[in-house]
Structure 1
Amino acid sequence: MEMQGLCDLHTHTTASDGMQSPADNVRLARQKGLAAVAITDHDTVAGVPEALEAGRQYGIIVVPGIEISTRMKEKDIHVLGYYVDYRDPVFLERLEGLRRTRDERNGLIIAKLNDLGIPITMEEIKNRLGRPLEPDETLGRPHIADVLVAKGYAADLRDAFDKYLAEGAAAYISVPRLSPGEGCRWIREAGGVPVLAHPGLYGDDELVRSILEQEKPDGLEVSHSDHDAAAEAKYRDMAESYGLIPTGGSDFHGMRQGVVFHGELGGRTADIKTLERLQAAVQGA
């Protein structure tokens, strides 16, 4: 059954920690009957040009996006950006700095795993890709989790995160990050619209409210693969109370070790009218 007029506004590709190419995400969106798909890789826009070309081929609207890693009150906070200028040189330079921070964090995670008696190297992680890592692409914790599972230190991706990589787990590492407000500013200065991602994952609605009040994103990701119906209703009410654009997306990463991380592409969506509101926010900036 086609889902005409619906958009998945949160997907990842091989440019960061997704398993499918940008073109494959667009092709899958077409198969699912979606009207639009956003490419929102972590701290990189490297997958956007390929996705835009695929969008022309498949007749799918492709939204150039980003998911920026920030931190506030000892929690990792993600800020989505829509309609960013993926060619803006200042924005690209800033993202390169974020990727360097990510690389440093990955090295510290590997060192901590080694201290725990788990022999794992960056070379192993890169080799699991099966191809060279492109200059603007990023490696993330799912890549590390993949090797942990392959070497028998975890049963699956979720187990690897629960044991070693999630916040508070044995090999979790926190590094200095931007504030959510800085992430919002970077996105706006690149011509985009900032949206607070998956508020339900932070486990702290007071923190969410303080971000909305202090950092002032333009939207809130209401529909997400890890939000149940009650959470979605709560965050939709919250978005309305703050006058924010309610967005939705699957946070699709593809399948690793037989497990779909977060959700299937198209499993969580927003109406096409959401794009109109995001575009209006760009024009009104």
Structure 2
Amino acid sequence: MDMSSEERYADLHTHSQASDGMNTPSQNVKLAVEAGLGAIAVTDHDTVAGVDEAIEAGKPYDIEVIAGVEISTREDNKDIHILGYYLNTEDPILLERLQQLREVRDHRNVQILQNLRDLGVEITMEEVIEQLGRELMPDESIGRPHMADVLVAKGYATDMKDAFNKYLAEGAAAYVSPPRITAADAAVWIREANGVPVMAHPGIYGDDTLVERILDHSSIAGLEVYHSDHSPEDEQRYLEIAQRRDLIVTGGSDYHGERQGKVFHGPLGGKNVPMSTLVQLRQLQTAIETGITAE
């Protein structure tokens, strides 16, 4: 969905250094302000470590910063990501669960690096962390894009896309798929933290039958129709699915910052939804928190 001068919009999918983004949470908020957005959600992978900084950074400006997360799950041998909005980021059960997910990610990272070494690609976790150019903060997580940076820096790949295609993407030579929770589990976790669960970027999964089956058997309340990797045809198809199922229609850039001169997945604010979407999300969040909804 494109921005116009008549109405302000929200980017509901952005990443910071708390997971695999290039910018601090504060820098992402500043970019959102400069882009004229009315709201930005911080949705780092399996962590809410960047939310407080982002909220503080937004206070001097006329912008809403939404507490969010993107939870990694596994269904039918595919990675499925579930976004959570307006959740309680201080909920101790949620924080413990996210810590467990990051531990799974850590074990996966060790195996990916071993697979790379088996292929004659010599990179270490120490090099990955050094490539960050800063200390790894508590509750931050290392992701595949961080490894891709080192693969490019050492000449094993020409850019991020090449690194993923050769080594890190699903089905590539060093790819590892660890045991994960289901999408239905993630939706329950988000609701138990008084948040609203939304399926992220369904077009990436390449299996609409699986998408529909997950929606059938979970308490997911929204669908990310607008995403940097969705074609106009994808957007129309998922809009129809969301409307047929009475799901909240969301969207966001999935902005990770710039790597090797390229923005990944898309520029902040490049995909967005009207501010009225936030009203729907907040209304459902209130219903979940008060126990009014039976979903």
In structure 2, what is the Cα distance between the partners aligned to 1:208 and 1:4? 31
Matches for 1:42-53 after TM superposition, within 5 Å: 42-53=45-56
- 1:145 partnered with 2:148: yes
In structure 2, what is the Cα distance between the partners aligned to 1:87 and 1:57? 23
Match of 2:77 in 1: 74
Percent of matched pairs sharing the same residue = 58
In structure 1, what is the Cα distance between the partners aligned to 2:147 and 2:265? 17
Match of 1:220 in 2: 223
Match of 2:94 in 1: 91
In structure 1, what is the Cα distance between the partners aligned to 2:5 and 2:109? 40
* Paired residue secondary structure (1:264): coil
* Paired residue secondary structure (2:88): coil
In structure 2, what is the Cα distance between the partners aligned to 1:14 and 1:2? 30
* Paired residue secondary structure (2:224): strand
In structure 1, what is the Cα distance between the partners aligned to 2:35 and 2:117? 42
| Partner of residue 180 from structure 2, selected from 177, 181, 195 | 177
Check conservation: 1:27, 1:58, Cα contact below 8 A.
no
In structure 1, what is the Cα distance between the partners aligned to 2:71 and 2:6? 29
Check conservation: 1:26, 1:58, Cα contact below 8 A.
no
The size of the alignment, in residue pairs, is: 285
Check conservation: 2:188, 2:219, Cα contact below 8 A.
no
Match of 2:59 in 1: 56
In structure 1, what is the Cα distance between the partners aligned to 2:92 and 2:286? 21
- What is the TM-score when the length of structure 1 is the normalising length? 0.99
* Paired residue secondary structure (1:161): helix
Shift of 1:3: 7.0
Give the aligned CA root-mean-square deviation in angstroms.
0.9
The gaps in structure 1 that reach 5 residues or longer are none
Check conservation: 2:48, 2:68, Cα contact below 8 A.
yes
The gaps in structure 2 that reach 5 residues or longer are 289-295
Shift of 1:2: 4.8
CA deviation digits over 1:132-162, x for unaligned, max 9?
Answer: 1011101100000000000001110011001
Check conservation: 2:106, 2:142, Cα contact below 8 A.
yes
Check conservation: 1:35, 1:61, Cα contact below 8 A.
yes
Residue 248 of structure 2 aligns with an amino acid whose one-letter code is I
| Partner of residue 210 from structure 2, selected from 197, 207, 211 | 207
Match of 1:239 in 2: 242
* Paired residue secondary structure (1:132): coil
- What is the TM-score when the length of structure 2 is the normalising length? 0.95
